[in-house]
Structure 1
Amino acid sequence: MSHRGPVRVADRHAFHTLIDARSPAEYALDHIPGAINCPVLDDDERRIVGTIYKQQGAFEARRVGGAMVAANLARHLRERFADQPASWKPLVYCWRGGMRSGSMVTWLRLVGWDAQQLAGGYKAWRRHVIDRLAELAPQLPLRVICGPTGSAKTRVLQALAARGAQVLDLEACARHRGSVLGAWPGVEQPSQTAFETALLHALEPFDLQRTMYVEAESSKIGRLAVPQPLVQRLRASPCIEIGASVPARLDFLLRDYANLGDDPALLARQLGVLRELHGKQVIARWQEWAQAGALAPLFAELVALHYDPLYARSQSTHLHQWATRHTLASDDLSAAGIDDLATQVLALDDAPAPGSAKA
Structure 2
Amino acid sequence: MSQTFASIADFLAAPFDTIIDVRAPAEFAHDHVPGAINLPVLDDAERARVGTIYVQQSPFLARKIGGALVARNAAAHIEGPLADYEGNWQPLVYCWRGGQRSNAFATILRQIGWRVEVVEGGYKSWRRLVVKTLYDDPLPHRFVLIDGNTGTAKTDLIARVKAQGGQVLDLEGLANHRGSIFGGLGTQPAQKAFESALAVELSKLDPAKPTLVEAESSRIGQVSVPSSVWAVMCAAPRIEVTAPLSSRAGYLAQAYADIVHDAHLLEKLLTKLVPFQGYERVDAWKDLARTGNFVDLAGGLMAQHYDPRYTRSRAKHTPVVSATIDLCDMDVAARDEAAGEVIKVMASLSG
Same fold (TM over 0.5): yes
1:286 matched residue in structure 2: 285
Pairs within 5 Å for 1:193-342: 193-318=192-317, 322-342=319-339
Cα offset for 1:112? Answer: 4.0
1:7 aligns with 2:4: yes
Closer, same or farther: CA 333–137 of 1 in aligned 2, 3 Å: farther
CA distance in 2, matches of 1:84, 1:143: 45
Q: Which amino acid in 2 is paired with 1:331?
A: C
SS at match of 1:325: strand
Per-residue CA deviations over 1:67-119 (Å, capped at 9, x if unaligned) read 11111122233344444454443221001112111211222333444422211
- The residue that corresponds to 1:182 in the other structure is 183
- TM-score norm. by structure 2 comes to 0.91
Q: Mean Cα displacement is larger for which, 168-177 or 59-68?
A: 59-68
Which letter does structure 2 place at the counterpart of 1:149? Answer: T
Tell me if the contact between 1:268 and 1:286 (Cα under 8 Å) persists in the aligned partners.
no
Post-superposition offset of 1:139:
1.8
Contact 1:264 1:292 in 2 (8 A): no
> What amino acid is the match of 2:288?
W
Does residue 138 of structure 1 match 2:139? yes
Unaligned runs of 5+ residues in structure 1 are none
Q: 2:346 aligns with which of 339, 345, 349?
A: 349
Mapped partners of 1:336, 1:216: distance in 2: 23
Alpha carbons of structure 1 residues 234 and 177: separation in structure 2 relative to 1, 3 Å: same
Give me the whole-angstrom Cα distance separating, in 2, the residues matched to 1:308 and 1:273: 17
- TM-score w.r.t. the length of structure 1 is 0.89
Secondary structure of 1:207's counterpart equals coil
Deviations 1:275-318 (A, max 9, x none): 22212222222233334433233222211111001111223434
Describe the shift of the 1:83–1:298 C-alpha distance in structure 2 as closer, same or farther (beyond 3 A): closer
Alpha-carbon distance in 1 for matches of 2:347, 2:32: 39
Give the partner amino acid of 2:227: Q
Q: Deviations over 1:15-44 (max 9, x none)?
A: 333211112232222211222222111223
Report the counterpart of residue 23 of structure 2 in structure 1.
22
- Ranges in structure 2 where 5+ consecutive residues have no aligned partner: none
Q: Is the 8 A contact 1:265 1:290 kept in 2?
A: no
The two structures, once aligned, show a CA RMSD in angstroms of: 2.2
Alpha-carbon contact 2:98-2:118 (below 8 Å) kept: yes
| Percent identity (aligned) | 42
Aligned residues: 347
